[in-house]
Amino acid sequence: MSDNGIGARVTRVEDKRFITGGGHYTDDLNRAGQTYAYFLRSPHAHANVKGIDASGALAMAGVHAVLTGDDLAADEIGPLPCGWMIHSKDGSPMVTPGHPVLAQGKVRYVGDPVAVVIADTLGLAKEAAEAVSVDYEELAPVIDLESAKTAALVHDEAAANTAFEWELGDKAATQAAFDSAHHVTTLELSNNRLVPNAIEPRAAVAEYDAGLDRYTLWTTSQNPHVARLVMSAFLNIAPEHKLRVIAPDVGGGFGSKIYVYPEETVCVWASRKVKRPIRWTADRTESFLTDAHARDHVTTAEMALDEKGKILGLRVKTLANVGGYMNLFASSVPTYLYATLLSGQYNIQNIYAEVDAIYTTTTPVDAYRGAGRPEATFVVERLMEVSAREMGIDPATLRKRNFIKSFPHQTPVIMAYDAGDFDAVINKALEIADYKGFGKRKRESAKKGKLRGIGFSNYIEACGIAPSQAVGSLGAGVGLWESAEVRVNPVGTVEILTGAHTHGQGHETTFAQLVVDRLGIPFENVSIVHGDTDKVQFGMGTYGSRSGPVGMSAISKALDKVIDKGKKIAAHLLEAAEADIEFADGNFTVSGTDKAIDWTSLALGAYVAHGFPPQEIEPGLKETSFYDPTNFTFPSGCHICEVEVDPDTGVTDIISWTAVDDFGVVINPMIVEGQVHGGIAQGVGQAMLECAHYDEDGQLLTGSYMDYTMPRADNLPSFKIGTTVTECPSNPIGMKGCGEAGAIGSPPALINAITDAIGSEDLAMPATSESVWQALQTSALKQAAE
């Protein structure tokens, strides 16, 4: 292993600018003549818009425009698309009425944008917005998921507010498995609605150059090419060659910055209308109201076991809240990213899942770190823990008894797991967590009047999203390959242009590590270029833990091509046969001789090109690739959480957290550990702190950090992280992806630990101190003590 090749803990290249205040985020940008957009939003969850009177605002000096849904309609802009078709059980396509960029006739959640005001200053735009009067006719809000099917219609086209009623698996075979069961565990579970909360709010700066007839959009995007594609092909703003999208430094995404939202769409479109650059930055309340929300399932889950604890079948019925509109990836999240993972790490022969996607008058819901897989893991791992408790089997033992032991393994829910060693993972976790010593620690806690509990979660997820063929067959509107370009400059330095986008993941470092490893050139001679549609040929962006397994595989393929061409050039320069050229440590050598040419000389030779036979060798050294994976990748792991509960208040302290993950080949352990840490924090947030609450009128009660509980440093312990390795067989690097695993694996571990501590399974997420205290009041443990 070189000092900064694959496997090295290289400190990050990108840090220098961030620690000195030198980052370049969208809101840092200023353009000459810029104006400011402010969006007038619906104060109602559900209402008809009878009319908009902007005359007062338009009369104000410095106000350039007030634009509405009618103006967009006149220009035939929109609607915002959903990119993944789902068919209901009866074969009918999902019902996805249009999502207008600005409301047209109706608003469907508090915050739904109704008009935009563009003015010289933000203060003026806000003042002008107060002078716009909107005539609303209020309609009955639809907030409660479980009663939404019989509530007022959110979209006239969607009967019973249902977008689709989908199923996966063999219903009859699963029923038969339950019929033969020795024990059935049944749980009513909710997966709480979350707000992503990247600390950088969404922002856009848009500019139209009339001379070039070309738009430029700087925006907080995880996938600038996808943004351009959607704006061009679906929203009709401008053809792709007339629109440049730049995603500069982006302050966290977690999924929420995948989507094309109304605000950046409007800014681009309107920049031509007002003939001035337009900037917009969300404030935090706007972020809460309009960033795509997450999760929000209600599920009945059942698991059938034989007398030895062998799982015979698993069945779920889930209601998924999609909010007021079906967002870009929203339909795939509660279906193919959810039910396909219901086998967990276990050999389960019979699985049947039903998912109904329901419209409500709430903020649209879409993918957020883990997207579907945390929901699946929560179902499976709560069932495992509760089954173990009900059957009196040690929870680790029950899991081991059911582990899949040989690979590849075809589950009954589409996925073909390619590699893993679940015993190795759990054994390492048990050791790090000192599972054997738990009983003693529990007694010590009891002496202090505290209730100690331990909880497990063994997750598997499918990421490296995704093989185009597979997702296409499941309804995706796009392929999910990745592209890369390797530019070798005449002096031998290398620029990697990638379609992945880094917004915290450290690609500028890890991608360079791969290049160093393959080319044997100095680390500082490599730079990573991303986030600009004018520079990078194309890209599907960063989400679904795909930048390593898919994005780096594309780079690897392009590097192969560069080396191949280098050999051809070396053969010419060294007057040898191409077959005799070997490449190692940055040198091309002629096998069995001392003839060699170093990397720098070869690069220069490639561009000098003197004497190249034109039919055989083109000048230059630059190669591109499009890499399409052949399978998902399957990271797996085990989280063990230990808590102490204060029975007087219900306050839970997380005493220790162990996570052992199998991510396949790890490029930079420091960065991978950081991804795990952050994922666990978000999972802990979901499990005991975070929840988006609406009141019955559809007002978001948790619209700021005063009311939405973000994980803070004092909510969390330091984490104990371990890794095991089974290489991923389906990509050239052997890596599996690590970005989402922490958020996928962690929530059930915490809930399993708290329920263990309090002796009650009657505990929903988030397990706030009050809900823990309430559960304790009725728990057997409490009654036994009294």
Partner 1 sequence: MYPFSYHRPTSVRKAATMLEKAEDPKLLAGGHTLLPTMKQRLAAPSDLVDLSGVEGMDAIEVKGRTLHVGAMARHADVAASEVVQEAIPALAGLAGGIGDPHVRARGTIGGSVANNDPNADYPAACLGLGATIVTNKRKIPADDFFVGMFETALEDGEIITKVTFPIPRKAGYAKFPNPASRYALVGVFASKRGKEIRVAVTGAAPCVFRASDMEEALAARFAPKSLEGVSIADDDLNSDIHASAAYRAHLVGVMARRAVAAA
Partner 2 sequence: MPTVSMTVNGQAVSADVDARTLLVEYVREHLRLTGTHVGCDTSQCGACVVHLNGRAVKSCTTLAAQCEGAEVTTIEGLANGDDLHPMQEAFRENHGLQCGFCTPGMIMAAVDIVNRHGNDVDEQTIREELEGNLCRCTGYHNIVKSISAGAESMGS
Closest to partner 2 by CB, 101 or 552: 552
Residue 17's CB: how many other CB atoms inside 10 A?
12
DSSP state of 719: P
**Residue 126 interacts with partner 1 (CB under 8 A): yes or no:** yes
What are the strands, taking DSSP E only, across 573-612?
581-584, 587-590, 596-598
Q: 32, 61, 584, 706: which one contacts partner 1 (CB under 8 A)?
A: 706
Among partner 1, partner 2, none, residue 693 binds (CB under 5-8 Å by kind): partner 1
- Per the structure block, which two tokens stand in for 451? 């209730």
- Per the structure block, which two tokens stand in for 518? 């393959």
What residues from 106 to 125 belong to the interface with partner 2 (CB under 8 A)?
A: 123
**What H or E segment, with its residue span, contains residue 495?**
strand 494-498
Question: By C-alpha distance, which of 610, 580, 605 is closest to 488?
Answer: 605
Smallest separation (angstroms) from partner 1 to the CB of 124: 11
Q: What three-state secondary structure class fits 683?
A: helix
The answer to whether the CB of 222 falls within 8 A of the CB of 245 is no
Instruction: Produce one character per residue of 274-284: b if its CB has 16 or more CB atoms within 10 Å, e if not.
Output: bebbbbbbbee
* Helical H segments across 244-305, by residue range: 262-274, 284-290
Q: 175, 769, 781, 782: which one contacts partner 1 (CB under 8 A)?
A: 769
Kindly write out the interface string for residues 493-512 of this chain, putting x where it contacts partner 2 by CB under 8 A and - elsewhere: ----------xxxx------
Q: 111, 309, 467, 679: which one contacts partner 2 (CB under 8 A)?
A: 679
**Residue 144 interacts with partner 1 (CB under 8 A): yes or no:** no
* φ and ψ at residue 486, rounded to 5 degrees: -115, 115
The answer to whether the CB of 636 falls within 8 A of the CB of 420 is yes
**Residue 594 interacts with partner 2 (CB under 8 A): yes or no:** no
**Residue 705 interacts with partner 2 (CB under 8 A): yes or no:** yes
Determine the length of the chain: 786
Among partner 1, partner 2, none, residue 25 binds (CB under 5-8 Å by kind): partner 2
**Residue 702 interacts with partner 1 (CB under 8 A): yes or no:** yes
d(CA 48, CA 69): 13
What residues from 260 to 299 belong to the interface with partner 2 (CB under 8 A)?
A: 283-285
**Residue 146 interacts with partner 1 (CB under 8 A): yes or no:** no
- Per the structure block, which two tokens stand in for 713? 């440093």
Closest to partner 2 by CB, 18 or 147: 18
Among partner 2, partner 1, none, residue 615 binds (CB under 5-8 Å by kind): none
Stretch binding partner 2 (CB under 8 A), from 12-20, 69-77, 233-241, 532-540: 12-20
Among partner 1, partner 2, none, residue 702 binds (CB under 5-8 Å by kind): partner 1
d(CA 84, CA 740): 21
**Residue 582 interacts with partner 2 (CB under 8 A): yes or no:** no
Residues 86, 87, 92, 94, Cα dihedral to 10°: -20
**Residue 73 interacts with partner 1 (CB under 8 A): yes or no:** no
**Residue 432 interacts with partner 2 (CB under 8 A): yes or no:** no
Q: Which residues is 456 bridged to in the sheet?
A: 640
d(CA 69, CA 85): 26
Largest CA distance in the chain: 94
Among partner 2, partner 1, none, residue 504 binds (CB under 5-8 Å by kind): partner 2
Stretch binding partner 1 (CB under 8 A), from 250-258, 583-591, 605-613, 705-713: 705-713
**Residue 58 interacts with partner 2 (CB under 8 A): yes or no:** no
**Residue 708 interacts with partner 1 (CB under 8 A): yes or no:** yes
**What H or E segment, with its residue span, contains residue 38?**
strand 35-41
Question: By C-alpha distance, which of 10, 6, 163, 25 is closest to 509?
Answer: 10
Residue 352's CB: how many other CB atoms inside 10 A?
25
Smallest separation (angstroms) from partner 1 to the CB of 144: 15
Among partner 1, partner 2, none, residue 251 binds (CB under 5-8 Å by kind): partner 2
Residues in the interface with partner 1 (CB under 8 A) total 20
Please report, as ranges, the residues that interact with partner 2 according to CB under 8 A: 11-12, 14-23, 25, 27-28, 30, 123, 197-201, 249-252, 254, 283-285, 503-506, 670-671, 673-674, 677-682, 704-706, 710-714, 716, 718-719, 742
Please report, as ranges, the residues that interact with partner 1 according to CB under 8 A: 123, 126, 285, 648-649, 689, 693, 701-702, 705-710, 768-770, 773-774
